[in-house]
Amino acid sequence: MTAQEEIIFQDEALIPIWERVLSGRRLGREDGLAVLNSWDLTAIGKMADHVKRKKSGDRVYFVMNRQINPTNLCVLDCTFCDFAAKPGDDHAYEMSMDEILEKLGDELSEVHIVGGLHPTWKFEDYLNIVKRIREAFPSIQIKAWTAVEIDWFARIARISIEEVLERLREVGLQSLPGGGAEVFSERVHEATFKHKMGAERWFEVHRIAHEMGFPSNATLLYGHIETYEERVDHMLRLRDAQDETPGFMSFIPLALQPGNTGLAERQASAIEDLRTVACGRLLLDNFDHIKSYWVMLGEETASVALNFGASDLDGTIGEEKIAHYAQAKSAIGLARDKLVEMIREAGKVPAERDALYNVLRVYD
């Protein structure tokens, strides 16, 4: 069949994109922009789902995990962040080690640890969190500290990124999350998070991590002042980096939770979310997984996104704080049965995984 016969296109601008997808040719910047600007959601979803099926069939992955945010005290002042606090703020907190360990259990496959750049904690304090979790729960895989945090550790300890990662490996770190990328645009960087590391340093940390054998993820924060061009360019830079030093496991589009940030009057629409997920799947041909992060998207949109190229629903989470400080409407955590139900409702096959995408159980 021809491309046009396989999918009925209402937007003819998508037809050449579909033909390139079918022939296995890599898509470019204009293709990404065409997807983000198109109103033909049905065709966009079918194209992205076609690519997803070629990579992982009907399976959609999830993990039994817990997110730990040890502190929200942070030396930075990013415009888009309602989570961060300064000493003396009413919502400021820091967790004790006992409080952290109480939130974990042997039923978990992964713990995901991210937080603020604490003004007085030493690198050894962060090392100790990983070390104590590894000692108490040796079977849990530890994914911890964004590139921003890794860079902060290097600065406060006055050591190299390589030494930071090696010392973390010694106490149990296995992979890195993808946060802190925000948008790889100097314009957006200057306007919203100018005191945080920029794109070049973010890529440097992940390149070093990949070269040292640490897999990681990558994110995009969208739905604020960025343009479609900046959104697409962000994805293409990730694709280039994956070509150079493979190691990214998944791409995670994060919809801004406007909260009190003043960056957007309302959260991105479900249509915007679905186009962005699909665009990621179509452009990032060297990424195995696109994540439908239900915490940011909400459960309903996250489930629909499983037919727009997403192959991963993240996990049970337990108690996510960063998005919920910005008034996210999603649940604080979800049970395994709920994740299985969401995947099945999308017509997909649930597959429980660990932090590194090793399959633990398939729910046929």
Domain match, 184 and 293 both: yes
CA distance 138 to 21: 43
Residue 68 and residue 37 in one domain = no
E runs forming strands in 17-85: 59-63, 65-68
pLDDT band at 317 (very low <50, low <70, confident <90, very high): confident
Question: What is the C-alpha to C-alpha distance for residues 235 and 237, in angstroms, rounded to an integer?
Answer: 5
Q: Which two tokens stand for residue 250?
A: 């998944």
Candidates 260, 334, 311; CA nearest to 67 is 334
Range 84-107 average pLDDT: 89
| Arithmetic mean of pLDDT, 221-232 | 95
Same domain, 123 and 24: no
Closest to 211 measured CA to CA, from 161, 286, 140 = 161
Residues 30 and 152 in one domain: no
Mean local confidence (pLDDT), 235-261: 90
Residues 6 or more apart whose Cβ sits within 8 Å of residue 7:
18, 43, 46, 47
What are the phi and psi torsion angles at 282 (to 5°)?
-75, -40
pLDDT band at 1 (very low <50, low <70, confident <90, very high): very low
What letter would DSSP give residue 267?
P
Q: Which domain holds residue 75?
A: 60-362
Give the mean model confidence (pLDDT) for residues 95-114: 94
| CATH code of the domain covering residue 335 | 3.20.20.70
Count of domains observed in the chain = 2
For residues 167 and 19, membership in a common domain is answered with no
Beta strands in 173-323 (DSSP E): 216-222, 248-255, 289-290, 312-315
**Entry field: residues in the chain:** 364
Do 23 and 161 reside in the same domain of the chain? no
The predicted model scores a pTM of: 0.91
- Average pLDDT in the chain: 91
User: Quick one: average pLDDT of 238-249?
Assistant: 98
Residue 135, pLDDT > 80, answer yes
Q: Going by DSSP bridges, is the β-strand pair 289-290/141-144 parallel, antiparallel, or unpaired?
A: unpaired
